[in-house]
Chains A and B, each alone.
Chain A
Amino acid sequence: ELKVEQNPLFLSMQEGKNYTIYCNYSTTSDRLYWYRQDPGKSLESLFVLLSNGAVKQEGRLMASLDTKARLSTLHITAAVHDLSATYFCAWMSSNYKLTFGKGTLLTVNP
């Protein structure tokens, strides 16, 4: 059974600090997605990582993919309050189905 595991599930950060969210998956894949969800809202696409070693950056967020280790990371640099949200990683199977992790609830405190 495919498993996508994120950690930590809860993350409380101080503004200006750096931190990393980890996403492990149990089956090989060349497509790994990161989404953001604000409370009561739908999912917003952040990054898609298509190959081993891929790195994408947008503002204070940077995502990377290591297919050999079956690991993706989402690194947060100098966190600000606006980044408070739940972040999901998702693995795409060959039939285009996304399998999501449980999400990481990020709270950035002033």
Chain B
Amino acid sequence: DTGVSQDPRHKITKRGQNVTFRCDPISEHNRLYWYRQTLGQGPEFLTYFQNEAQLEKSRLLSDRFSAERPKGSFSTLEIQRTEQGDSAMYLCASSLESIWLASSDTQYFGPGTRLTVL
């Protein structure tokens, strides 16, 4: 399977603990995105990397959240001192930058990591 992969798929943690999620994008994709989805809502943008550079961060991404993509391949999303409000599905997506104006820039999503904070 050459799609976007995420690990773990499920994470249950106690309030105040730190958690880290990993995303492996489609191999040739240079853009990587993190979104958060809560029940009954559409995904909300968190942050975006082009290669190893983090180019955009949402105001949703408080200082307890940090994301990295050290070598421009996989990415990690860490949440420190988790709160119950952090419970959500965390989705990673990747896309390929194209020099063609007609590029679709379609983002392909991984299966997500479902976080439950008790």
Contacts and interface: CB of A to CB of B under 8 A. Distances in A.
Interface of A: 4, 31, 33, 35, 41-45, 48, 50, 88, 90, 92, 95-103
Interface stretch (B11-19, B68-76, B79-87, B101-109): B101-109
Contacts, number: 57
Given A43-B43, A45-B106, A96 B95 contact: yes
Contacts of A4: 42
Given A42-B112, A43-B43, A103-B42, A92 B105 contact: yes
A100 B43 contact: yes
A88 to B, nearest CB: 5
Interface of B: 31, 33, 35, 40-45, 48, 55-56, 91, 95, 102, 104-112
Nearest to B103: A50
A45 B108 CA distance: 7
Contacts of A100: 42-44
